[in-house]
A and B are shown apart, each in its own frame.
Chain A
Amino acid sequence: MKIGVVGGGAFAWALAHAVRRTGSEVLMWSRRPQREAGAGISLVALPALAAAELIFFAVPSPVLPELARELGQHLDGGHYLVHVSRGIVGDGLMTLSQVLRSVTPCRRVGALAGPLVAAALESGAPGGGVIASRFPEVHAAVREAIGGKRLRIYSSEDVIGAEFASTAVGLLAMAVGYVQGIGLGPATLAVMASRGMAECTRIGVQLGGRVETFAGLAGHGDLLAAVAGDGRPELAVGRELAAGTLLADIRRQGGAYVEGIESARRIAAYAQRTGARAPLVSMCADVFDRKIGSAEVVELLMSRAVGGE
């Protein structure tokens, strides 16, 4: 069986290796391939990915719509598209599965969420993730492509919930890194993580997600893995920000963090526009944009009126 992978970053390569372990062949497209193709992994032109039934998108959210549109010219209703992004696009917080559905003729789409990181996925360390799709054949295809004895792939029908939970974890992991970086203790970190997740859950439910998804592997489970130190880039970026490194300098080091910053801005703007309560996410947006510094963060975190949880 052939599996397509769009992207050439660390996560795309990790997926390719996970696919190889199950014995399938990988067709990979990358704008600037940084590695050599190996046994069973061929680097191909974008249209050639249409030969695969299942295609993973492992690219940052800003470039996904255009790539999907271009690839979509060569696809039909028989293809399954699954993205691994932690981003959302547009003012209305559009998730990437919604983008995939609107720019390609494919309907059987899904999102891979949960505590999957590039290094562990590539090396085959035991772990787990969630494939969220309305279509059981997409669950089965992803399980067949990368699942196995060492990688437990749970299925969910709550696509928006899983995508939004994944986005929330991306930005909260940065916030946790920042809180750690400015020297605050575990209790503050827990307040940040759990109350931040509560805000994101509220908005996620408004968007059509289910509460349980945020409490599961795609939400709290994923955040737990990040805090426990699974080498998440978002955490490192948070710490760098706390140390005063400029965003432009961090940006030169890698791509994953961009999602968290943009997500915080978008969610904060959405909350303000719709009257949803999201003070911690708004604070994160201000911190990432350097509108406030560490002293104000402590003040803001601790001086907020305390109510029922």
Chain B
Amino acid sequence: MLAAPMRSLMFRLLSQPLRLPAFLGPAPRPDDPQIFRFNSERGTIISDVVRRVAQHYAGQPDRLLYLLNEAGNAEVRRLASQGDLEASDALGAWRRLIKRVGKMSEEERRAELREIVARMTGDIAGNFDVRVYGLATKIIPGLLTAIMSPGDLPRQLLSGFRALDERIIAEGPIDKLRRLAKVGTLVLVPTHSSNLDSVALGYVLMREQLPPVVYGAGKNLFSNPLLSFFMHNLGAYRVDRRISAQLYKETLKTYSCMMIERGYHSLFFPGGTRSRSGLVERRLKLGLAGTGVEAFARNQARGISRPVYFVPATLNYALVLEAETLIDDHLKGAGQSRYIIDDDESGQAERWFRFFTKLSQLRSAMVLRFGEPLDPFCNPIDDEGRSLSPSGRTVDPASYVKFRGVATVDAARDAGYTRELGDAIAREYQRSTVILWTQLVAHILYRQLVAQTPELDLFGRQRVRGATMPRSQLEAEVGEARDRLLAFAAAGLVHVGPVLQSQSPEKIVAEALTAWSGYHTRPAASAKGGDIVIEDPNLLLFYQNRLVPFAEELATPETLTAARTIAALGGRT
């Protein structure tokens, strides 16, 4: 057993991510993305965050007192219930603060505020090491290939990882995004389905020669030393979701805002957490992503006209690593309370292995589709980075943050824009969704299950096992629905993945059954003679949920009633 001070030291060492010595690193070139300069700016950024938060409370002694009290009490509550090394390290200081804060002079309180915010920002702020980035660009494709098909590595090395490129497809206005990254700051706002999302996104950004982005990753992801080393040195900042103190949230927002103001391309998952239901997010609050609006306004007010571009994107997986836990959580209605799932499939090495083995057998296992970029005021952007009005005229984005001709910072106004933007991004998600073959087959099977169980509610239906559908009927309905999807795709309402575009309905069904067998504990459905047997209605629900917005349009007169029940799962827009 280690002595308390030693344990505390060990805790500190382990909780501080490893960095390489700074003086050995190469100097950034002028056309490098801003993130290459992060390390030299890190100290300034932290002190700017401290100054801004402190300024916000200057002249508001009552609010400052409340804020410190609230932070103290929230942290004492959290740490006391955690009871870990972090608690023994920090609990005393917070307890002392609660005791003393009432008696402090205002000057002392302000000093305390600055100290706490500096500590919090130091914990949040990441690092960017060009050498680690260079290493990552070289080894990640190899790493992914090695996991997905180890025997294939030498050949893949020679062929430049073509197989990986075939499995992870990137679509959308990528050339335009490369140009926009040079004239403005990108704020990527993708859908969130899996812990694999940030890895897949990072890989695609590298492969497509898009600049690296900073993003806030849950602190729990930093507990793995190797992952932590890469994430920390590639610009990720740490978000501790367990901390409920208002001051922490404000510090985090200020940090994120300041990064965008300084031109750091950023990534946020505006849905907040992974979609438990498998539905594409339809209502977005944006959260930290909303700081992109404030950052634009703050720059304008200072006379800096650098544009901010929001880039919606959808991540579409034929198989989702954590599908079983996610849908289970959704059905339990526990999605909110179990904000951080730490016992899902992504924590099990064996599941990762099975998942990647499975992926390696699938064509186009994952499609990342970038949507059309928007300015902070929901206007589309032309190829040169200018905002466009509905009539196609260019419009000055600065006009949205001006009051009687002067650019201002106004939190209430920006909250209005942020809500508008949340709606616009959710609409773009819908258009940018790529329907994959496993999802369509799941939808047709689930529709059949609903039609067979009209008397059951959702929960009753999820308990039904062994429902069947004749394979020939499934293939016919898949074919019909696929043709309609292709028509929607032609009309620009949605996108359709490569297998659905090119294969026969028989092949589509066969490939879906293959994809499901072997990875999940129980396949969603499997073949038995001339029938398809529904084995796991929960998984089926998860995969088919991507099609909920199109359920009614895909239905035939005979299946319309069931399709309406399915459409109701998504609520109304």
Contacts and interface: CB of A to CB of B under 8 A. Distances in A.
Centre residue among A102, A134, A208, A275 by max chain B CB count within 10 A = A134
Contacts of B395: 76-77, 105
A52 interface: no
B400 interface: yes
A69 interface: yes
Given A107-B378, A135-B413, A136-B413, A69 B390 contact: yes
- The prevalent SS among residues of A at the interface is loop
Contacts of A107: 377-378, 400, 416-417, 420
A78 interface: yes
B397 interface: yes
Contacts of A134: 415-416, 419-420
B404 interface: yes
Interface residues of B, number: 30
B96 interface: no
A34 interface: no
Nearest to B405: A78
B504 interface: no
Interface in A57-106: 69, 72-73, 76-78, 101-105
Contacts, number: 67
B419 A77 contact: no
A265 interface: no
B412 interface: yes
Contacts of A275: 564, 568
* Range class of the A interface residue count: 20 to 34
A77 B397 contact: yes
Given A78-B399, A78-B402, A105-B379, A73 B393 contact: yes
Nearest to A275: B564
A296 interface: no
B420 A103 contact: no
Given A72-B390, A104-B389, A104-B390, A137 B403 contact: yes
B416 A69 contact: no
A103 B393 CA distance: 12
Contacts of B417: 107
A103 B416 CA distance: 19
Interface in A98-157: 101-105, 107-108, 133-137
A69 B264 CA distance: 36
B391 interface: yes
Contact of A274 (B391, B397, B412, B572): B572
Given A72-B389, A73-B389, A206-B572, 8 more contacts: A72-B391, A73-B393, A76-B389, A101-B378, A104-B390, A108-B413, A136-B416, A137-B413
Interface of B: 377-379, 389-391, 393, 395-405, 410, 412-413, 415-417, 419-420, 564, 568, 572-573
15 contacts: A73-B391, A73-B393, A76-B389, A76-B396, A77-B397, A77-B402, A78-B402, A101-B378, A107-B377, A107-B378, A107-B416, A134-B419, A134-B420, A135-B413, A136-B412
